[in-house]
């Protein structure tokens, strides 16, 4: 039975008590993306396995150990996306977006799947907010993308996040670096784990992000890529730094950042927090000037980042970041009998049509229990309808915060009066809108000023 009521290890549910907070955070992200000119893209949750092998790189931990790969009924090798960049670039090429004026700037919210050891901030199904700026070679683009991530964190009032940047050069300077790395790791060959011994042959840079303690100890003393980059890459990096400084974005250069995915070139960066334990990287990204070509397209230098939504939510929680209140139920309509229920259903329908949240009981509760439930829902207003109200055509609209009541006419409840909709009237009551002298607010509901 436990199998039926327990989610799979490394996955988590987002319950209503938390989901509204995440909606707010996602709203902040989308708003920032819009202000920076990024528009949403949605791509499938699974892709051909080869796409990730080619882009993320088949010597990376992600491809070698962490992908959820299966053979479908048509005998194809399919993989649940471990990240969002590959799918976005695939869609960019498939739909010919590279023929549009560049850059094409897209953003996305995706679920991602990696078979990693679950711990705080590390899940097997997690979510990312990411952006990709496709077709922008200049350092202004690097600064812009970093500034967008920073904008999100600033709007959310995240504290203590540090931005680390590095340049890992282009394929030309990389060759020299790979050589230096190979020489260094060769002298430690016997101590390296089996996977890293294979990496030493195929891609020694990947040894730098091996999670085994012995390999990472050896890797910590390895040559750093920043010492090997060519003049063009250095010039690009210097300009990125200048632009960041011009925007007052503080950064630290961390020459050990190489990122765990193969497609990166030149600028790489991470936003890291000390407040959420070992998995403190809330956002990571960088340039991938060769990826579009690697996937069969033209040479289109590009870059982007992704932030882990669960990690960010953990961080906001640990910092007790103020969040907006959950939306309230505007009106709860309590009904005493069948005739009143009919009236409640109709009223709710009118009120919802006017853009407000209107609820009524659907479980056959007594009036007393309905009112208790309305309290629990934190309803702003309640109306109780029974045979007397129906007979008089009027009911009392109670402001649950102040305890005050006003009389409302049932037959015109949901209609506009004097050009002011019920929505505005009710919001007006709550927000203390001032009406013209001599205007009787009650008349809005009784139809007196009609
Ligand atoms: P990434 O560094 O692999 O980069 O992931 C980006 C972010 O996703 C991480 O900084 C972290 O916040 C979150 N994340 C990664 N793995 C997990 C996990 N197992 N559980 C929870 N959160 C996780 C990418 O995915 C690149 N596609 C980013 C990018 C876009 N680069 C250029 N464009």
How far is the centre of ligand 1, averaged over its atoms, from the C-alpha of 283 (Å)? 7
Per-residue pLDDT tens over the stretch 64-103: 999 999 999 999 999 999 999 999 999 999 999 999 999 9
Q: Is the dihedral of CA 41, 47, 51, 56 positive or negative?
A: positive
Q: Omega of the bond prior to 278 within 30 degrees of 0, cis? A: no
Using a 6 Å cutoff on CB, does residue 215 contact ligand 1? no
Instruction: Give the tokens for residue 97.
Output: 């977006």
Predicted local distance difference test score (pLDDT) of residue 59: 87
Could you read off the pLDDT of 27-70 as tens digits, one per residue? 999 999 999 999 999 999 999 999 999 999 988 999 999 999 99
Range from 4-13, 61-70, 340-349, 403-412 carrying the lowest mean pLDDT: 403-412
pLDDT at 1: 67
pLDDT confidence bin for 324, thresholds 50/70/90: very high
* pLDDT mean across residues, the chain: 91
The number of the ligand 1 atom at minimal distance from the alpha carbon of 121 is 21
Contact 110 CB / ligand 1 (< 6 Å): no
Instruction: Look up the pTM and report it.
Output: 0.91
Cβ of 287 less than 6 Å from ligand 1 = no
Measure 21 CA to ligand 1 centroid, in angstroms.
Answer: 21
The candidate with the shortest Cα–Cα distance to 303, out of 270, 272, 263, 256, is 263
**Percent of the chain beyond pLDDT 90?**
79
Over residues 247-290, the pLDDT tens digits come to 999 999 999 898 989 999 999 999 999 999 989 999 999 999 99
The answer on pLDDT for 434 being more than 60 is no
Q: Of 284, 312, 315, which is best to mutate to test ligand 1, by the most ligand atoms within 8 angstroms of its C-beta? A: 284
pLDDT digits (tens, 9 = 90+) for 227-255: 999 999 999 999 999 999 999 999 999 99
Element (H, E) at 268: strand 265-272
State yes or no: pLDDT of 296 exceeds 80: yes
Regarding the beta carbon of 113 and ligand 1, being less than 6 Å apart is answered no
**What is the pLDDT at residue 354?**
80
So what's the pLDDT on residue 406? 85
- Ligand 1 site, residue 289, Cβ cutoff 6 A: no
- The atom of ligand 1 lying closest to the CA of 261 is 3
pLDDT score of 37: 98
Res. 159: pLDDT tops 90: yes
Q: pLDDT tens-digit profile of 170-224?
A: 999 989 999 999 999 999 999 999 989 999 998 999 999 888 899 999 999 999 9
Cβ(83) – ligand 1 distance below 6 Å: yes
Asked if the model's pLDDT at residue 21 lies above 80, the reply is yes
Residue 429 has pLDDT above 80, yes or no: no
pLDDT, position 414: 62
**Which residue out of 9, 134, 311 has the highest number of ligand 1 atoms within 8 Å of its CB and is therefore the one to mutate?**
311
Kind and range of the H or E run holding 164? strand 162-167
Q: Tell me, what DSSP letter sits at residue 254?
A: -
Tokens matching residue 364: 């056959």
From 308, 313, 314, the mutation candidate for ligand 1 (largest count of ligand atoms within 8 A of CB) is 308
Predicted local distance difference test score (pLDDT) of residue 14? 97
Task: Give the nearest ligand 1 atom to 288 CA.
Answer: 32
Residue 411 CA to ligand 1 center (angstroms) comes to 56
At a CB cut-off of 8 Å and minimum separation 6, what does 406 contact? 396, 397, 399, 429, 441, 442, 445
Q: What is the mean pLDDT of residues 369-386?
A: 95
CA 128 to ligand 1 centroid distance, Å: 7
pLDDT for 426:
53
Average confidence (pLDDT) over 377-404: 92
């Amino acid at each position: 039975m436990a199998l039926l009521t327990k989610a799979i290890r490394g996955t988590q549910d987002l319950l209503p008590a938390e989901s509204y907070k995440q909606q707010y955070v996602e709203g902040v992200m989308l708003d920032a993306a819009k202000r920076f000119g990024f528009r949403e893209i949605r791509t499938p949750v699974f892709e051909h396995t080869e796409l990730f092998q080619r882009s993320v790189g088949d010597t990376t931990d992600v491809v070698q150990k962490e992908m959820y790969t299966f053979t479908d009924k048509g005998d194809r090798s399919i993989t649940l996306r471990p990240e969002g960049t590959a799918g976005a670039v695939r869609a960019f090429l498939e739909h010919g977006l590279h023929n549009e004026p560049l850059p094409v700037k897209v953003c996305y919210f995706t679920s991602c799947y990696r078979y990693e050891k679950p711990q705080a901030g590390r899940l097997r199904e997690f979510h990312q907010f990411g952006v990709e700026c496709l077709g922008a070679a200049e350092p202004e683009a690097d600064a812009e993308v970093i500034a967008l991530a920073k904008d999100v964190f600033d709007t959310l009032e995240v504290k203590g996040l540090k931005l680390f940047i590095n340049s890992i050069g282009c394929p030309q300077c990389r060759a020299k670096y790979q050589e230096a790395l190979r020489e260094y790791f060769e002298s430690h060959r016997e101590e390296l784990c089996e996977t890293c011994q294979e990496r030493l042959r195929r891609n020694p840079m990947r040894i730098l992000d091996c999670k085994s303690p012995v390999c990472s100890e050896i890797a910590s003393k390895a040559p750093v890529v920043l010492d090997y980059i060519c003049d063009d890459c250095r010039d690009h990096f210097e300009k990125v730094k200048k632009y960041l400084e011009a925007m007052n974005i503080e950064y630290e250069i961390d020459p050990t950042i190489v990122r765990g995915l193969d497609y990166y070139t030149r600028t790489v960066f991470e936003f890291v927090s000390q407040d959420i334990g070992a998995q403190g990287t809330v956002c990571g990204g960088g340039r991938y000037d060769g990826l579009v070509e690697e996937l069969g397209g033209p040479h289109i230098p590009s870059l982007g980042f992704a932030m882990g939504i669960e990690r960010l939510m953990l961080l906001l929680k640990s910092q007790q970041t103020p969040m907006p209140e959950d939306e309230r139920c505007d009106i709860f309509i309590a009904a005493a009998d069948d005739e009143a229920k009919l009236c409640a259903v109709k009223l709710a329908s009118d009120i919802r049509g006017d853009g407000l949240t209107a609820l009524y009981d659907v479980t056959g509760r007594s009036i007393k229990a309905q009112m208790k439930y309305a309290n629990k829902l934190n309803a702003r207003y309640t109306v109780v309808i029974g045979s007397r109200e129906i007979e008089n055509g009027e009911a009392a609209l109670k402001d649950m915060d102040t305890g005050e009541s006003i009389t409302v006419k049932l037959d015109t409840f949901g209609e506009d009066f004097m050009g002011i909709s019920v929505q505005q009237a009710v919001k007006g009551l709550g927000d203390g809108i001032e009406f013209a002298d001599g205007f009787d607010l009650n008349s809005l509901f009784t139809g007196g000023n009609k």
